[in-house]
Amino acid sequence: MRTRRNSRDGSLLPCRVSLVLLSLFLGVLVATRLARANANEAKPGVSEEVAAFLKACKARDDAEAKSIGDKIFARLTQKHRQNAAFTALLSKMKAAEFLTRQMVQQLRQATNQRMVSIGKNMFPNRKQPVKKSVLSVAPAKRFYDTSVALFSKPVKGIDLSDEERTFFVQYYDLKLRLFTGEIAKAGQALAIAEPAFKGTYDYVLVLPLLHAIGERPINIDVLPLWMRRPDQLDIFSDSALLHYGLPFQAMMVAKKASELRGSAFSELDFYRSASGKCGTGLPHTAADCLKRAITEAVNKKADLVVPLEFDMVQLWLDSDNYGLAAGEARKIYEDSPDHKDAGKAMWLYFYSLSRNNDTDVILKDIDEALKDKRCKIYEPKLLYIKWWALRRKRDSTASVAALEYELLKRYGNDPMVAPIMLSHATDQLASQDYAGAYDSLSQLVEKFPATKAAQQAKRMLAKLKTIRGEK
């Protein structure tokens, strides 16, 4: 009776309402968790998806990795669409894709052109003679040079989680690897159609180099798998050195090849060898190699520093860069004054100046060099250069004559004086002293028959004999 009365006046109503609400809440909570569980069974979480992507990359299954990675990348792009740094990074990826299309198109057009030419040669039209086709392919370095400014701009401030960053690094490498693979296939097709084409490796290297600007080494992982063998890396090393003029990148690729072979590697030896490969055809690249070799030698083989510096002088001389040769020779003389070859450096300095026609500089400094004991063994050559410079000035007749006399008296049996004897005979001809010129020329031919001056003297003697009526 008490309970029923209490029910009538509503004293138990709040308790019943609370029980109903609690039941509803628990039902919704259970339903939500079941829904989430079902969703997780239908689609793995982000971490599991990234793990699957990384697993595919490790297994070198690029097709599977791309399938998974594209989905994750699409979500990342949407999530970070307002991030300026992330957008800049995407722009680089798009630029790499655009550049790939350009290079592939260039190679395929050349392949098609060659195939058409082959067809015409196989089935010639008698009415229209077949013209020999010329392979037209842009150098790979042109694509590199036109893009280096864009790819050299640093991208900073990308706000990614550790997991997102790990994914993106691998995904970017995957994309580059797919691009280089596509370029390699197009290059191989052209090489088959036209065996004279040797630029496949140069083209494949464009994108890796653009992502390794400065002193960052090339990421070997972005190369096609079959191109990562030591013998293939050797070809890439030569490409980086000889086609692109990048000794550091060439060295790093060669070093990786040595690691794969399990053999020892010396950066110093590599740079010395690379300088020889470049030779006078690529003097500035060769000089870069020698500079790097010198840097290595300073701390590892100090006794090689000066010999390498002399190699630099010789490189500039052989490539007709006489001003640069003079600068390097002077540097050796000043930086290593106690070296046994300091006098040789000074001689090469003046020799380089003479080849560069710097007569004023020669005449300004050469007397001091002649007084230097270190230059004593090079005195005849230095005196000859001084004579040459005075003669070119054309306003020091007395000095020239005195120096000629001294040289002929002291070094009369040295072939070095042959040009002086020829010059003396020429002066005699200019003053119409034909008899004296004839005697001087005859003496030159007799004493130094193997010299260039003697060959010139023979021609002059023949003309003099004609003038004198001799046969």
Domain identity same for 166 and 75: yes
Closest CA to 102 of 136, 138, 135, 151: 138
Mean pLDDT along residues 448-464? 90
User: What is the 3-class SS of 420-453, one letter each residue?
Assistant: HHHHHHHHHHHCCCHHHHHHHHHHHHHHCCCCHH
Mean pLDDT along residues 94-116? 93
Confidence tier at 5 by pLDDT (50, 70, 90): very low
Q: 299: which 2 tokens?
A: 């701390």
How much is the pLDDT for 120? 61
Confidence tier at 211 by pLDDT (50, 70, 90): very high
- Could you tell me if residue 28 is inside a domain? no
Q: 212: which 2 tokens?
A: 């390794």
Q: 335: which 2 tokens?
A: 């930086």
Mean pLDDT along residues 163-191? 95
Mean pLDDT along residues 140-163? 88
Q: 119: which 2 tokens?
A: 């067809």
- For the chain, the domain total comes to 3
**CA distance linking residue 414 with residue 97, whole number of Å:** 68
Domain with 186, as residue range(s), is 41-122+138-221+239-244
Per-residue pLDDT tens over the stretch 354-404: 999 999 999 999 999 999 999 999 999 999 999 999 988 877 777 888 888
Domain identity same for 116 and 208: yes
Report the percentage of the chain scoring pLDDT > 70: 85
- Could you tell me if residue 287 is inside a domain? no
Locate the DSSP E strands across 117-264.
Answer: none
Residue 228: Cβ within 10 Å count: 16
Domain identity same for 329 and 450: no
Render the burial of 1-24: b for 16+ CB within 10 Å, e for the rest. Answer: eeeeeeeeeeeeeeeeeeeeeeee
Per-residue pLDDT tens over the stretch 73-94: 999 999 888 888 888 889 999 9
Mean pLDDT along residues 20-44? 48
| Domain boundary pick from 370, 395, 411 | 411
**CA distance linking residue 265 with residue 217, whole number of Å:** 16
Confidence tier at 37 by pLDDT (50, 70, 90): very low
Confidence tier at 33 by pLDDT (50, 70, 90): low
CA distances (Å), origin 175, targets 108, 114, 205, 222, 223:
21, 30, 15, 8, 11
- Could you tell me if residue 104 is inside a domain? yes
Confidence tier at 186 by pLDDT (50, 70, 90): very high
Q: Say which DSSP state 403 is in.
A: H
| Domain boundary pick from 395, 411, 427 | 411
- Could you tell me if residue 186 is inside a domain? yes
| Domain boundary pick from 411, 427, 442 | 411
| Phi and psi, residue 251, nearest 5° | -65, -45
Confidence tier at 129 by pLDDT (50, 70, 90): low
How much is the pLDDT for 470? 62
Q: Which range, 230-239, 418-427, 428-437, is most confident?
A: 230-239
**What's CA 148's distance to the chain center, in Å?**
13
- Could you tell me if residue 267 is inside a domain? no
How much is the pLDDT for 12? 46
Domain identity same for 67 and 192: yes
Quick check: 206 and 96 in contact, CB under 8 A?
Answer: no
Q: pTM for the complete prediction? A: 0.80
Share in percent of the chain as helix, strand, coil (round to 5): 80, 0, 20
What H or E segment, with its residue span, contains residue 235?
helix 230-238
Domain identity same for 343 and 202: no
**What's CA 379's distance to the chain center, in Å?**
41
Q: Say which DSSP state 417 is in.
A: G
Contacts of 80 (CB under 8 A, 6+ apart): 86, 87, 158, 159, 160
Closest CA to 350 of 384, 308, 398: 384
Q: Is the pLDDT at 177 greater than 80, yes or no?
A: yes
How much is the pLDDT for 393? 80
How much is the pLDDT for 424? 84
Report the percentage of the chain scoring pLDDT > 90: 60
- Could you tell me if residue 350 is inside a domain? yes
